[in-house]
A and B are shown apart, each in its own frame.
Chain A
């Protein structure tokens, strides 16, 4: 399958700081990428849909000014958690939808970023 990377894999930060997470599709182009959050033993929760070159679409209840998403190219989307607080501690996972080729339409997940806010 296609490969999606995420960086960093783990981050610990102090309350009030901002954290940037990168999601890259390594061997395919992705017009659309998605950002999820998952709390322990809970289901994946979609936060936002990111389309290359346009503004992200946020799910209800997700603060767009707190979770800044940028999808500047067909292989890179970033999520910035601004002024992070302990309640933002979670497992953040991105996925990328293949735009063309054999795996067209399939979505592949990055390995996730575990954020801990102290």
Chain B
């Protein structure tokens, strides 16, 4: 069983603060990692992809990957109320047709 663990939250942060979302995974073979955002009643939207250890920045988002620790995180700077959603961590399973192993997601609430 390939586990992806995320704190379900809700994680509440004030507007303008940094939101930190964490994820651990059990499959050591995973090489590709994705963060998706899902609003209630909608489908997931890709925010970030990361393949190498270290940080990757895109606008207000920074993904961090540490394969040795089997840990991936997402930082959201200057959080906005529109960032309130469920964030899904998804390592790719290269041994299973490249399907994504989704965590249960972390619910983020950004308060004005």
Contacts and interface: CB of A to CB of B under 8 A. Distances in A.
Q: Is the A/B pair a real complex? A: yes
Nearest to A110: B43
Given A105-B32, A106-B49, A107-B34, A112 B43 contact: yes
Interface string B31-62: 01010100000111110010100000000000
Contacts of B36: 109
Interface of B is mostly: loop
B102 interface: yes
Contact of A93 (B32, B43, B99): B43
Given A105-B32, A107-B34, A46 B99 contact: yes
Contact of A111 (B42, B96, B100, B103): B42
Nearest to A1: B46
21 contacts: A1-B45, A1-B46, A34-B100, A43-B105, A46-B99, A57-B97, A93-B43, A93-B44, A95-B100, A97-B98, A105-B51, A105-B92, A106-B49, A107-B98, A109-B36, A109-B44, A109-B46, A111-B42, A111-B43, A112-B42, A112-B43
